[in-house]
Structure 1
Amino acid sequence: MKRINLQTYRIVVLAFAAICLAPTASMQAQERSASQLATSPAVAAMQQAASEGKYLFVYFWKQNDEQTQSMRGVFNQATGQMADVAQAISVQISDSTNAAIVKQFGVSRAPMPLALAIAPNGAVTQGLPIKFSEQQLREAIVSPATATCMKAMQDRKLVLLCVKHQGDVNAFPGAHELTRDERFAASTQIVNIDPNDASEKTFLQSLKIDLSTNKGVMIVLSPPGNPVATFTEDATKDQIVERLTAASSSCCPGGQCGPGGQCGPDGQCEPGQQCCPGGNCAPATK
């Protein structure tokens, strides 16, 4: 699986961190931060694009050097051809009027220029620093289910991707029971896909799902986009929990975890630890 484009740049991991002040900050400072966010042109553009069901492509830049000008041309050319599904805005990160959006996406120290694609649901579907192509920008437009999965994982949730033809309200009872359990409700999300939906064909093929069968299948995806377990539609909650617990406690050979070996909050484990399924770190085995 392509890891749903989350490996392109680490900025997507920070994309939905709330703009929070320290607990000791004054109420005036909090109100000032909220006011800045509300009046930010980029935030207004995000809200406008979302209200129209469109993507927003943001071009972050700092200095108007040759690289910035070159990539701006690529950015404008690509987004101009996607006007039916996307809007675009340019944001200079050193401009104080853009402070709120720069803080929201954590790009103050990111390599510049940086192109960010934001789906209508708020998911960051692509982050491209320094140099990128028109094709890479076009690939940021993903299917609805892909965007939903990405948003959930960027919110640090496990995705229970349930694939079955519509109409069976009793399918995946274990998944629904799991999300109703107070221990797991806040950290799991069900995403349903009908295999007949042509817009999801590429996504389902990337997961190697047989689209010809009538049997339902559930794939669990963990941040930043790793498939960690597959279940039949009749799997119970206890079976799901048991499998996921085993996956998070048994380490991979060589300390690698799925494509790219992504692990831990910074992409690697501390000394003396190794990477486990799901991106967790654990003491290295002898």
Structure 2
Amino acid sequence: MFLKTNSSQRNVIAFLIVCAIVVTSTTVGSAQEVQRVASLSKVESSRAAASKQNKYTFIMFWKDQDEATKAMWSSLQQNLANKKETTTFAAVNTNDPAEAKLVEEYGVSRAPMPLTLAIAPNGAVTGSFVKKINADYIQQSFVSPAKARCMLTLQSRKMVLLCVNQDGKSAMPQGVQNFKAIPCYKDIVEVVSVSAAESNESAFLQELEVPKQSNNTTVVFMAPPGVMVGMFNGNVTHQQLIAELQKAGKGCGVEGCKHCKE
């Protein structure tokens, strides 16, 4: 069953994609991992260490030491000084050869400067701030685990099937399982399960306008770059999911939206 959504629900997904960034990840062997770690730049190493400590990393990219750059850096220092247990921050000159990989990773070489990106422990970019940053912007960058996972998946150009249940113990809806099992979809969709009872997820679910007090699982279907494909109850079939995905057409950033055959 498809749950009708209004324009605010369809637009809310735009807030999940804070900037056009493709995050890539690969599985490497231990020897390769040692080599990769050894080749990390100073800021890359700081980001990796922060991730292991479940901290957010704020990176300010800059080109010129103008007033805007100085003001942004000062604001970061002031607002993060009392958040050392949960954050770390660094500045990167986009012309610094040592940080060229980082600049390329986030695609910021031609972005307006200064630019600060907020990066969650899992690697999701949860905030993108040009020219100015303040305490409110920084606070908005801290997101729930489920939201961070959804954001990272979308930024990795994959689809998300967010399954919201009341007790956190409900089985994955059969339609979601069937959709995930389709060969050409299985590697480009991630299923994220969350309990509506988790207090730290309430703001995220409210932003998505997930129905409250539902006795059934709610399935929120999202696709890159920022498409709310639809919202369904737990009885949704994989055929319905495919049909709604195809309706998304060119608005969906996954090739399978148009060409994947069951």
Report if TM-score (shorter chain) is over 0.5. Answer: yes
Q: 1:197 to 1:185 in 2, by over 3 A?
A: same
Q: 1:14 Cα shift?
A: 2.5
Q: 1:3 aligns with which of 13, 18, 21?
A: 13
Q: Secondary structure at the match of 2:141?
A: coil
Please say if residues 162 and 192 of structure 1, whose CA atoms lie closer than 8 Å, have aligned partners that are also in contact: yes
Structure 2 residue aligned with 1:73 = 74
Read off the aligned partner of 1:248 and give its amino acid letter: A
State TM-score, norm by structure 1. 0.76
Q: Secondary structure at the match of 1:193?
A: strand
Q: Deviations over 1:92-129 (max 9, x none)?
A: 22222212211211111111111001111111111111
Q: Secondary structure at the match of 1:122?
A: coil
Q: Secondary structure at the match of 1:39?
A: coil
Please say if residues 6 and 126 of structure 1, whose CA atoms lie closer than 8 Å, have aligned partners that are also in contact: no
Unaligned runs of 5+ in 1: 20-30, 250-275, 281-286
Read off the aligned partner of 2:248 and give its amino acid letter: S
Unaligned runs of 5+ in 2: 1-8, 27-31, 255-262
Q: Secondary structure at the match of 2:69?
A: helix
Q: Deviations over 1:65-92 (max 9, x none)?
A: 1111111111111222322211111112
Question: Where has structure 1 moved over 4 Å in runs of 4 or more?
Answer: 34-37
Q: 1:4 to 1:51 in 2, by over 3 A?
A: farther
Cα distance in 2 for partners of 1:141, 1:167 equals: 23
Read off the aligned partner of 1:187 and give its amino acid letter: I
Structure 1 residue aligned with 2:96 = 95
- Once the two structures are superposed, the pairs formed by residues 175-214 of structure 1 within 5 Å of their partners are 175-214=176-215
Please say if residues 17 and 155 of structure 2, whose CA atoms lie closer than 8 Å, have aligned partners that are also in contact: no
Please say if residues 3 and 225 of structure 1, whose CA atoms lie closer than 8 Å, have aligned partners that are also in contact: yes
Q: 1:181 Cα shift?
A: 1.5
Cα distance in 1 for partners of 2:149, 2:25 equals: 19
Work out the number of aligned pairs and report it.
238
Q: Secondary structure at the match of 2:184?
A: coil
| CA RMSD, Structure 1 to Structure 2 (Å) | 2.5
- Once the two structures are superposed, the pairs formed by residues 1-286 of structure 1 within 5 Å of their partners are 1=9, 2-3=12-13, 5-6=15-16, 8=18, 12-16=19-23, 38-166=39-167, 168-245=169-246, 247-249=247-249, 277-278=251-252
Q: Deviations over 1:261-286 (max 9, x none)?
A: xxxxxxxxxxxxxxx65469xxxxxx
Q: 1:242 Cα shift?
A: 2.0
State TM-score, norm by structure 2. 0.82
Please say if residues 157 and 189 of structure 1, whose CA atoms lie closer than 8 Å, have aligned partners that are also in contact: yes
Q: 1:136 to 1:188 in 2, by over 3 A?
A: same
Identity of aligned residues (%): 30
Cα distance in 2 for partners of 1:38, 1:100 equals: 10
Q: Secondary structure at the match of 1:224?
A: coil
Q: Deviations over 1:248-270 (max 9, x none)?
A: 24xxxxxxxxxxxxxxxxxxxxx
Cα distance in 1 for partners of 2:14, 2:143 equals: 9
Please say if residues 61 and 113 of structure 2, whose CA atoms lie closer than 8 Å, have aligned partners that are also in contact: yes
